[in-house]
Amino acid sequence: MVVVIQCKDKVGLVADIASVMARFGVNILTMKEYVDINEGMFFARLVIEPFNDIVVLQNALQQALPSDALVKVNPEPEKKIVVLVTKEYHCLSDILIRNHFKTLGATVEAVIGNYADLANICERFDVPFYEISHEGKDKSTFEHEIKKRLANHKFDYMVLAKFMRILSPDFVASYPYQIINIHHSFLPAFIGASPYKRAFHRGVKLIGATAHFVTDDLDEGPIIVQKTIPVDHTYSVSDMVRAGKEIETSALVKALHFVFEDKVFVFNNKTVVFE
């Protein structure tokens, strides 16, 4: 059972947490904590032995800790997600496979695509796919349709698995730190469109992928995972695209695992990740 805590730092926090656990006879299996000294913030993630009364433990911790403390005992153990896609199959397929074999750490409730290309693969895995085209619509109409479609689905996170549209601040604000994107570059290099093309022209020797939470600023949200792989002069743009897909897929799924296991904290546009 997981417990996550985030609050202003002060002397004795670990003792306070640990003595609540000791009081209830709960064994701490692992505890990772981190103090951001510059920011004066405290973050902790505990794995404890199962304990029946979650509410009682939650309240006891809340009482023992500063009033600003965000405490979650056993945060949603059965995460649900929706996935937004365009045409590229690699990230979605990887998610669908893990979803199918129950190793994703979350359940895919639905997939939304602004093209129909990926309907078939979803169908093969019995996952609902909704085509919502952006064509001939302004952004707010398009996003309104997405929201309306999702109204029937409960979900904890929205995953942009190569969804090649920029979402409006309004839309993003509806899902604070719940939208996870995979960007096909080593951010902050090549923010925005066509990163592989620009990487090619710059003659880089590594290409990258970045999984991050989405915020108002394009490609500026808190980074969760980054990966790079070597390329060389023989790589055309399309070779880079092809090679990049491998790390886009693996960076995204790694980030999702961290998030779904409640290992990721966000503060000040950065993440604390207890690997």
Q: Report the interface residues with its own copies, using CB under 8 A.
A: 11-19, 21-22, 25-38, 89-90, 93-94, 97, 100-101, 103, 121, 124-125, 186-190, 202-206, 208, 222-228, 232-234, 236, 242, 246, 250, 269-273, 275
Which CB sits closer to its own copies, 85 or 150?
85
| Active-site annotation holds for 219 | yes
Determine contact, residues 212/188, Cβ cutoff 8 Å: no
Minimum distance, C-beta of residue 223 to its own copies, in the bound complex (Å): 5
Q: Report the residue number, 100 or 137, with the smaller CB distance to its own copies.
A: 100
Q: How far is the CB of 28 from its own copies (least distance, A)?
A: 5
The first and second tokens of residue 116, run together, are: 């129909």
| Residue among 87 and 147 whose Cβ is closer to its own copies | 87
CA distance 75 to 94: 25
Q: Write down the catalytic residue from 94, 156, 219, 262.
A: 219
Q: How far is the CB of 121 from its own copies (least distance, A)?
A: 7
- ∠ at Cα 265 (260, 271), nearest 5°? 110
Nearer Cβ to its own copies (16/131):
16
Long-range CB contacts for residues 70-75, cutoff 8 Å, separation at least 24 = 70/4, 70/5, 70/6, 70/7, 71/3, 71/4, 71/5, 72/2, 72/3, 72/4, 72/5, 72/262, 73/1, 73/3, 74/1, 74/2, 74/3, 75/2, 75/4, 75/262
Nearest CA among 77, 76, 95 for reference residue 85:
95
Q: How far apart are CA 111 and CA 161, in angstroms?
A: 10
Shortest distance in whole angstroms from residue 124 CB to its own copies: 5
Kindly state the smallest distance separating residue 197's Cβ from its own copies, in Å. Answer: 12
Q: What CA–CA distance (Å, rounded) separates 19 from 219?
A: 42
* 111 versus 146: smaller Cβ distance to its own copies: 111
| Active site amino acids | 219
